[in-house]
Chains A and B, each alone.
Chain A
Amino acid sequence: MAMAPANKTATLHIRRGAPGAAIRYDDFQVPYEEGMSVLDALRWIREHLDSSLAIRYSCVNANACKTCMALVNGEVEYTCTAKLSPDRTIVEPLPKRPLIRDLVTDVIGDDEKL
């Protein structure tokens, strides 16, 4: 959904990388708008700043698919319902799942794998 011109920016502090590589955190600045979700910000980053950021989501607005979970400021949340903080938000992959890359972990059941 289009965002109105914003003059405030919010910062996301995002854990990056694949298993085996050194842990790294990247900071991204995104235009902030009241009510926007963490997922809105992650999608904005992919479109405008770094398309290589790995994230998992599907339904964007409906909060129905339940595929978009990550750690937001240390809590397990759906990134589509977690509100972005106007200041700084830390986003990390789910801690108890095997990491694939960046914010994506392996949440697919064994009976749905190749």
Chain B
Amino acid sequence: MTHLTTDVLVIGAGGAGMYAAIAAARDGAAVLLLDKSQVGRGGATIMAQMTVAVALGEQEADSVQLHFQDTLSAGRGLCDEALAHLLCDNGPARIREMESWGTRWAREDGHIKQEMAPGHSVKRCCYVDFLNTGPAVAATLRRKVGECAAIRRVSNLAAVEILCADGRAIGALALSLADGQWVSIGAKAVILAAGGLTKLYARNSASANMGGEAYAMALWAGAELVDMEFVQFFPIGHLAPRLVGMDPIMWDPFRYKLGGKLLNGQFEEFIDRYGSSDFGKYNATRDVAAYAILKEVEAGRGTPHGGAYLDFRHIPEAELRGAFGPVIDRLAENGIDLAKTAVEVSPIAHYHMGGIRVNSNMETRVTGLFAAGEAVGGANGANRLSGNAITEAFVFGERAGASAALRIKQQAAPWNDTVATAALERLQGCCFNNSPGALTPISVQAELQKLMWESAGPFRTGEKLSVAAQRIAAMERQLPGLRIGNAGGFNLDMQDWFELRAMLITAAAIVKSALARNESRGAHQREDFPAPDDGLLKNQVVELKNDQLLSRWIAPARLQA
């Protein structure tokens, strides 16, 4: 087995992981930065097209305190205030640092341009033209990482488990995709920056690498998760016709601006059937729109792909062109002409508020194990403001890198070969079935995505969640019988299998938490408990004990006044 040694191991090279690597190297650590896909390309960061929320006060007066208040309001009382404050407080420094490293934030009249976005009380959201925020920041960080001699990068290396000895993280086991070889990595500190989990849902905006492996690795290592029931579903994500090169959540601002009509499969307006009205302006709130769309589909009145139509045909073409600008051309490249056709939309899984539980140094309860980015839970509580996620990735990444560099100076974790060998034997012992008729990991992944969408999606019931918990347990029992062909290099079956194993325990953590929260709050909506319950103004913590997921309630972390 190949063995690598480093001071700080960073797992996942998106915005958070690359920032963490740069900060740890700046503070004197040798860093190994790995990604199962390719450095800077595999996750959500490079896909983000919209904006970054940060209290720069360049467009109009703003303050960290105001951004913090807006973040807490969106979080419906459940934010970890220390983390939320850190996000808002350090945001400006990170955005300016990114500019000094070459990110060209859109400017006007000599200042960074900031726009309004829902939930923000002032114009706070900066961006890179044109729809280029994610690719631009990813390129900046990739270049910066490349310039740091202390950072070693490895692409196509998937972390599978964190190695721990005596309650401390000492490294990880990883699978090299090109040749199927196992690699052990000895590290004095480990940072989990492997991103979110929206790939667990059939309808999502995810990349191929967002199956929630960070959460699973944290649980197996003995760390805790928090707020796992709070998955953010975007109400009108793109469904059909096929659209490539545009963020699937792009429609919302245009619907508000222009008044896009929502119609069911029979081209009828339906919002007023669900206790709300479009008031002739076609701007029903997001939660009503999401609920109404899914109910129409359930009643058999969905569109061909199982959503609703979003229709702009009543709007004059010149007005469409004015509002959509160059987006019209990107739509045309996909054969979509809004003056002639309505598009199909549906709620889609977009972001995860919950995640790995850390203190404000980004350290978990396992010494030397840190987390950063979307993988961290708590800062956004029950719902996230748009634009906060990229800021979170940078701020938490920087903090995790700095903390890890400090940790390795304080204590050294000795490498333990016995632990690594035992883990490897256990993983290699995961027996596979190669008989031609056996199910493949990818087909079970698809089944899990469908199950999560139908039973633990935007609207949940206790009954469906209970059934989902049982089905997930059954799928876990299926794991040893799944087929992994002996394909040689780039064996995706093998990668799918280990990903599925992680997806299942992450899904189980969501379902367990959603089942226990008998109320509706923020992104967690229970049809059988449609109102919020002040008795549940608490966070839920999940841990793994003797192979069982356990959950408990804690009081939300408030900032000392």
Contact = CB atoms under 8 A, between A and B. Distances in A.
Nearest to B35: A112
A35 B154 contact: no
B157 A61 contact: no
A17 to B, nearest CB: 9
B446 A47 contact: yes
A1 B135 CA distance: 23
A23 interface: no
Interface string B34-58: 0001110111001101000000000
B205 interface: yes
A65 B242 contact: no
A52 interface: yes
A37 B241 CA distance: 11
A66 B38 CA distance: 10
Given A46-B442, A47-B442, A67-B41, A40 B146 contact: no
B488 A61 contact: no
Contacts of A59: 41, 46-47, 207-208
A72 interface: no
B134 to A, nearest CB: 6
A63 B244 contact: yes
A57 B208 contact: yes
Contact of B146 (A60, A101, A102, A111): A111
B442 A114 contact: no
A35 B334 contact: yes
Contacts of A114: 2, 4, 154, 157, 176, 183
A25 B462 CA distance: 50
A67 B245 contact: no
A11 to B, nearest CB: 19
B187 interface: no
Interface string A1-13: 1111000000000
A108 B491 CA distance: 17
Nearest to A113: B154
B489 interface: yes
Nearest to B305: A4
A22 to B, nearest CB: 14
B244 A58 contact: no
B39 A112 contact: yes
B490 A101 contact: yes
B41 A55 contact: no
A52 B487 contact: yes
Given A65-B42, A106-B178, A112-B38, A36 B135 contact: no
A64 B41 CA distance: 8
B442 A51 contact: yes
A63 B243 CA distance: 10
A40 B155 CA distance: 24
Given A33-B242, A112-B155, A47 B38 contact: no
A34 interface: yes
A2 B135 contact: no
Interface in A63-100: 63-67, 80-81, 100
Interface in B486-543: 487-493, 496
A61 B244 contact: yes
B244 A37 contact: yes
Contacts of B41: 58-59, 64-67
A48 B443 CA distance: 7
Contacts of A51: 440-443, 483, 485, 492-493, 496
A100 B39 CA distance: 19
23 contacts: A1-B240, A1-B242, A2-B306, A3-B305, A33-B242, A35-B334, A37-B244, A46-B442, A51-B441, A52-B491, A55-B492, A57-B208, A58-B37, A58-B43, A59-B207, A60-B207, A61-B205, A62-B47, A67-B41, A101-B490, A111-B153, A112-B154, A113-B155
